[in-house]
Amino acid sequence: MNSTELRTMVTVAEARARARRADDLVREAADRAGLIDVAIGVVDSPLGELFVAVTRKGVACVGFDDQDRAALEDRFADGLSPRVVMSSRATDDVRKQLDEYFGGARRDFDLAVDHRLMSPFVRKVMAETAKVPYGEVSTYGRLATRLRHPEAARAVGAALGSNPIPIVLPCHRIIGASGKLVGYAGGLQRKEFLLRLEGDPTLFPG
């Protein structure tokens, strides 16, 4: 590599660094001015990297690392706002509470929730699901009965499968009538991990 090529590479690297810094400054300014409608960030967890979205109404999404993030961002743009921006500052409270939960220091989340990515029926299902305490489980059938639709266990299962805010809204606490772990959008291994973390003794004795 001659000196001209080296200078060109240095110049390109500097230009990219300046562009990244300018982009960061724009995001920080938008964040301070309250111009971000949907703030997104990432959280390291024992389940892999979690992708979170927060609006002025509250947390709107917790996604797993094997989900299509481009598709999630498109969903945010369609269902929330096209102004979607990476912001660690705006998502910091969600990150902190998730860290506490996985570290065993938190049992209940103290977060406002943005329900706009849910249908009215899903909202009702998730409201009932949120009443299942930490360390306990319920079944699809019992949940359907509490919703006064005892014949709708399958519809309840489908609603839980579309939950955009898993962990915070604890759909993992709903199991099959036989006690089997079924129907978790994040995968049964993640569901088992969360229930083990919460220490349900009826599922995992000894």
DSSP line for 25-45: HHHHHHHHTT--SEEEEEE--
What gap in Å lies between CA 32 and CA 176, rounded to an integer? Answer: 46
Asked whether the beta carbons of 92 and 40 are under 8 A apart, the reply is no
Q: Cβ atoms within 10 A of the Cβ of 106, count?
A: 15
Task: Give the pLDDT of residue 88.
Answer: 84
- Nearest Cα to Cα of residue 187 among 172, 199, 176: 172
Distances in whole angstroms, Cα of residue 191 to Cα of each of 75, 127, 168, 197: 24, 19, 13, 10
- Nearest Cα to Cα of residue 165 among 124, 128, 114, 121: 114
- Which are the catalytic amino acids? 171
Residue numbers of the chain with a pLDDT score lower than 50 = 19-20, 22-27, 29-30, 33, 206
What gap in Å lies between CA 107 and CA 133, rounded to an integer? Answer: 9
* Chain segment 60-108, per-residue pLDDT in tens: 999 999 999 899 989 999 999 999 898 888 899 999 999 999 999 999 9
